[in-house]
Structure 1
Amino acid sequence: MRSKVMLFEQIRRDSRVEGLSVRALAKRHHVHRRTVRQALASAAPPEPARRRWQSRKIDPFVTAIDAMLRSDLTAPRKQRHTTVRILDRLVEEHQATGLSYSTLRAYVAQRRREIWAEAGGRPLAEVFVPQTHQPAAEGEVDFAELWVDLPAGRTKCYLFTMWLCFSGRSVHRVFPTQSQEAFLEGHIAAFTELGGVPTVHVKYDNLKSAVSAVLFGTDRRRTENERWVLFRSHYQFDGFYCLPGVHGAHEKGGVEGEGGRFRRNHLVPVPKVKSLAELNVRLAKADRADDHRRINGRVRTVGEMFAIEQPLLRPLPTEVFEPGLSLNPRVDRHARIMVRNCQYSVPAKFIGRRVRVHLRAGEVIVLDGRTVIATHERSGRKGAQVLDLDHYLEVLKYKPGALPGATALVQARACGAFTSAHEAFWAAARKAHGDAAGTRELIDVLLLHRHMPAVDVVAGLTAALRVGATQADVVAVEARKQQRGATQPEHPVGQDDSAGQRVVSLTERRLSDPTAVIAGLPPDSRPLPSVDRYDELLTRRKTAPPAADLSKGNVS
């Protein structure tokens, strides 16, 4: 279908080249003679005439409709007239018949805006005013929901985002919760990554981590959390709090859009990681890679803009703010402490005592005085139990029957700390020594993890199982050899030993015949020890002393 500009150009060309009349041009191009005259008069087609409003049937009811719309100026937002309600009232109260719904809807849509503007109210259509931000002056912060595939399954987490308004440089970190500890740690990570603090303010929603109460009035008054005030005072910046609800979302539209953009570009598909710490390392690399992108309408890249902004940021304080929360729970009889509706294990010897807890966004650090006695990854699930099998080993040593059903063992299996090598050794030890004794041998092996890397202990288990040994000291020797990186036997072996280096059992060496070749050791050709020389001491007798001569007064 030809455009009108092309049509006018062809009409003008035919008139100029062939000299055709208006009638002939109209017949050739299948248009009205009026269109031909318009083309000959001007190369630009005339603007289409605006359609005039013709609402003959609605004219008698215009006054009533306007009255209904004006009454909405003082009515609650959810109790204002809709087009359907206006039509119903016109029929009931004014006997309007034959009135078209589409005609009424068009009139109401136009007239409602006019009445609202005449009353001096806020425009119904949201209008956004472009803003110019000064370098290093403002930042914006927000949390966004995020799903992550962790070893425990698909978990809901939260993406912390700080966005600088001038350059668009952003910092992202993932936390298991939106707690105040996560809020503060996100700020510290962002300020450290950016190398400074915005000089004017940072914009926020009315988060519980920062705002205790919203005081409605003419100004943006808030009752801030005391710990948040301490944090702001430490880093010397002010907070700007947006209007509550969706009405204030546009006031920090930069970070709202940035959170969605980053999630779509760097977190799709759902990331699969072993821990949130591993994911945060990936996010830090993605932040630096985004320095090369260019925001729409800007000539410079994000990195180039940030290079201008970074020297103008307020320097970081010399002292680092501690974002963790200090608590003092008591250890219950199950060797657990209660922290934020979750239970965490500690060594059993601390049962009944109060310990000091350092609660952070992603970890729980338990201290006895200044000594760290336990460290756990923080759980975001209410009522969860996070137990470490190592904390119960001394108890299980004299209660071996409690190990098979222990919750700590179930969690150790789930996280991979209790491996298939442990399972095989435990089964072999119970078969060889019985349930109780075999379980104690396993516990002795588990105690090795306190002093040796897990990979060396697992290598020791594998070596012991290869030769059918089920003693913990065998595992200990082989683990130490693995730790030293020994590749050759320490003692020569016989020519008939086709297996090469063999496992050494200290217990067998002590209890077996010392003249036999055991565990790959050379024969002991030394004679057996004798105590005959000591027996000679028993045969010696001292000579009896001479009798005393009392007559001479001599005493021998």
Structure 2
Amino acid sequence: MIILMQKQDILLKYLREGKSQREIARETSVDRKTIRKYINDYEEKLKKLQEAHHEVDRGELIQELVEAPKYRVNNRKKRVVTDEIKQMIRDHLKENENKRSQGLHKQQKKPMDIFESLQAGCIPISYSTVLRTVRSIEKKAKEAYIKGSYMPGDICEFDWGEVKIKIGGKRRTFQMAVFTSAYGNYRMAYLFAKQKTECFQEAHAKFFQEMGGVYHTMVYDNMRVAVKRFVGPNEKEPTDGLLKLSIYYGFAFRFCNTRRGNEKGHVERSVDVIRRKAFAFQDSFESLEEANNYLHHVCMRLNQRERSYNDQTPAVSLETERPCFLHLSEPFDAARYTTLRVDKYATVVIDQNHYSVPDHLVGEQVQVKIYTNRIHCFYNEQKVAEHQLLTGGHEWGLQIEHYLETLRKKPGALAGSTALQQADPKIRNIYTTYYISHERDFIELIHYLKENATLPEIEQSIQELRQMGPKHVTTDKIKAICAKNRMPKDAPPLTSEETQTITNQAERHLRLYDELFNTKRVGQQEVCV
């Protein structure tokens, strides 16, 4: 292959120096047939140029006259790839298409697999030919993009992004819900433990509340919390969670086409920007609440930056959008509802985690309301348990008061129980300090705490009893002290029948107190005898 400089040298020797083709071949070491080809080609194009009258034709001829030599090999006939072989390759590609529709993207055949399959069938073809044929069959026209124009308050885009940060020194993966307005590029994000319906709904409730109104249209991709199932090539059925949000707030929604992130390009970019601007600088926090506060601060800072194309910050653009928003209702009750059966451990299992309910409900069905950070359990429309939501897997959330009936029958199980280990540290300290080997008495104390007293009251009673010695700390004496401390010191005389009954009850508690501690009351004071 000769280069442009060689072509120039050949033509100048022929045109200016008047040398013969044989002489030029001898001096340049280029085959005489090649020299003849370029001289004839030059003279032919020069003649056409002189005869051309159209400006475009003249321009093209000039370019052809001075361009570097080209060797056109694409027009060579491909003799190996017959129509039959092409059909075989198309069949393989059709199988790949079917697998993609079934979600089996990682089980498709690559060109090398197709080549090996053809070779096994004794088809005389090379891998490069198979690769070239596959590319020609799958070749698609390049897509043109249309710049959108947006009205204030009209469109907002939503997407999830994965974030890995440390909470309490432990590295964990969280889901970041990101909102971006199409008109003003206003960005806001919230962290959640998982991509669950209740998280999806709570994110919207928080965002609309912060915006002070609701966008007319929300845009989503094919996320599971938004798309229930595909019902056709371009049709998707929304989830109940999304429909409930739409009904309550009154916004419309639409979905992007599959693998078309550009159709919600604002939020696609926002996920990357917010994640980098926030957690590339700090990725360790004591709690999820602290991480969310930090993330909110970063988003607010980003919204104060100027936009290059209209010299407005997203925060300023938001003020333009607010009058155009839909009316904002009260915050949506973002919760997932389910009915679960209580297992033999008196727990219900939610997302692979166990939560206790009162032990008399073993075998019964309870209704569970699941929020992003807590759960409520109901039986016969009465709340029977409330827990903080566990964010790990195979964890247990047990409350000791849920097992009182069982522990009364099996008091020996108390010391080694998970329920005691997860109890309030103050309750555990009371047990280890005063109730070792007195489990039945401690169980009665927990029952009293559940029904009739508060933990500070019990702690105050124990402090009074400790002054007489640790052995005086018993459940009966704690009850007596609590009753005594609840009595008003300067109560006015009571005359009605109802108030007299209350007075008699208090007097009985005081007499019990006197009997327990060998005291007698003189006026409003107590002395030891």
User: For the Cα contact (< 8 Å) 2:222–2:256, is it kept in 1?
Assistant: yes
Deviates more, 1:376-385 or 1:72-81: 72-81
2:311 is matched with 299
For 2:218, which of 195, 202, 205 is the aligned residue?
202
1:425 aligns with 2:430: yes
User: For the residues of structure 2 that align with 1:393 and 1:369, how far apart are their CA atoms?
Assistant: 21
CA distance in 2, matches of 1:407, 1:132: 59
State the match for 1:273 in structure 2.
286
Q: For residue 140 of structure 1, what is the aligned residue in structure 2? A: 157
Residues 85-100 of structure 1 mapped to structure 2, 5 A cutoff = none
Residue aligning to 1:490: none
CA distance change for structure 1 residues 512 and 212 in 2, over 3 Å: closer, same or farther? Answer: closer
Return closer, same or farther for 1:355/1:270 CA change in 2, 3 Å cut-off: same
Distance 1:265 1:346 in 2: 43
Asked if 1 retains the 8 angstrom alpha-carbon contact of 2:412 and 2:439, the reply is no
Q: Which residue of 1 aligns with 2:491?
A: none
Matched ranges for 1:27-176 at <5 A? 59=72, 63=76, 76=93, 121-123=140-142, 128-150=145-167, 153-176=170-193
Which residue, out of 404, 409, 421, partners 2:420?
409
Partner of residue 404, structure 2: 393
> Amino acid of the residue matched to residue 231 of structure 1?
L
Shift of 1:366: 1.1
Cα-to-partner distance string for 1:240-294 (whole Å, 9 max, x where unaligned): 21122xx3122222112222322233345334234x4554455445544443233
**Where do 1:250-261 residues align within 5 Å?**
250-261=262-273
Structure 2: 5+ residue stretches without partners:
1-65, 97-108, 117-123, 488-509
For the pair 1:324 / 2:335, whether they are aligned, the reply is yes
Letter in 2 for 1:211: V
- CA shift, 1:61, in A, is 6.8
Change (3 A) 1:473 1:127: farther
Counterparts of 1:295 and 1:340, CA distance in 2: 43
> SS where residue 522 of structure 1 aligns?
strand
SS at structure 2 position matched to 1:404: coil
CA RMSD of aligned residues (A): 4.9
Partners of 1:390 and 1:447 within 8 A in 2: no
1:506: how far off? 10
Cα contact 1:162–1:170 (8 A) shared by 2: yes
- Native 8 Å contact 1:165 1:254 kept in 2: yes
Distance 1:388 1:279 in 2: 28
SS in 1 for 2:342: coil
* TM-score normalized with structure 2 length: 0.62
Instruction: Indicate how the Cα distance of structure 1 residues 236 and 183 shifts in structure 2: closer, same or farther if over 3 A, else same.
Output: same
Q: CA deviation at 1:148?
A: 4.8
Contact 1:136 1:309 in 2 (8 A): yes
3-state SS, counterpart of residue 292 of structure 1 = coil
Equivalents in 2 of 1:160, 1:483: separation in Å? 50
Q: Secondary structure of the equivalent of 2:527? A: coil
Q: Map Cα deviations across residues 360-400 of structure 1 (whole Å, 9 max, x no partner).
A: 33321112344322112233555443222221234324422
Correspondence for 1:241: 255
Q: CA deviation at 1:461?
A: 6.0
Report the count of equivalent residues: 410
Match of residue 522, structure 1, among 513, 521, 527: 527
Q: 2:238 aligns with which of 211, 224, 240?
A: 224
| TM-aligned CA deviation for residue 176 of structure 1 | 2.2
Q: Could you say what secondary structure the match of 2:150 adopts?
A: coil
Q: Cα–Cα, structure 1 residues 288 and 456, in superposed 2: closer, same or farther, change >3 Å?
A: farther
**1:537 matched residue in structure 2:** none
Shift of 1:309: 0.8
Partners of 2:434 and 2:182 in 1: CA distance = 65
- Deviations for 1:473-529, whole angstroms, at most 9, x for unmatched residues? 666788999999xxxxxxxxxxxxxxxxxxxx998853455589xxx96344xxxxx
CA distance in 2: counterparts of 1:228 and 1:172, whole angstroms: 18
Q: Conserved in 1, the CA contact under 8 Å of 2:199 and 2:372?
A: yes
Counterpart CA distance in 2 for 1:464 and 1:259 is: 60
Rounded Cα–Cα distance in structure 1 between residues aligned with 2:473 and 2:327: 61
One-letter amino acid of the counterpart of residue 430, structure 2: F
Give per-residue Cα distances to partners, 1:209-268, cap 9 Å, x unaligned.
Answer: 222222443xx3212234533432332222221122xx3122222112222322233345
SS of residue matched to 2:422? helix
In 2, the alpha carbon distance for the partners of 1:280 and 1:454 equals 32
Matched, 1:185 2:202: yes
Give the match's secondary structure for 2:415: coil
1:322–1:474: structure 2 CA closer, same or farther, 3 Å change rule?
same
1:202 Cα deviation from its structure 2 partner: 1.5
| Aligned mate of 2:369, from 358, 375, 379 | 358
**Structure 1: unaligned runs, 5 residues or longer:** 1-50, 86-92, 96-100, 102-107, 485-504, 525-556
Which of 1 and 2 has greater Rg? 1
Deviates more, 1:249-258 or 1:134-143: 249-258
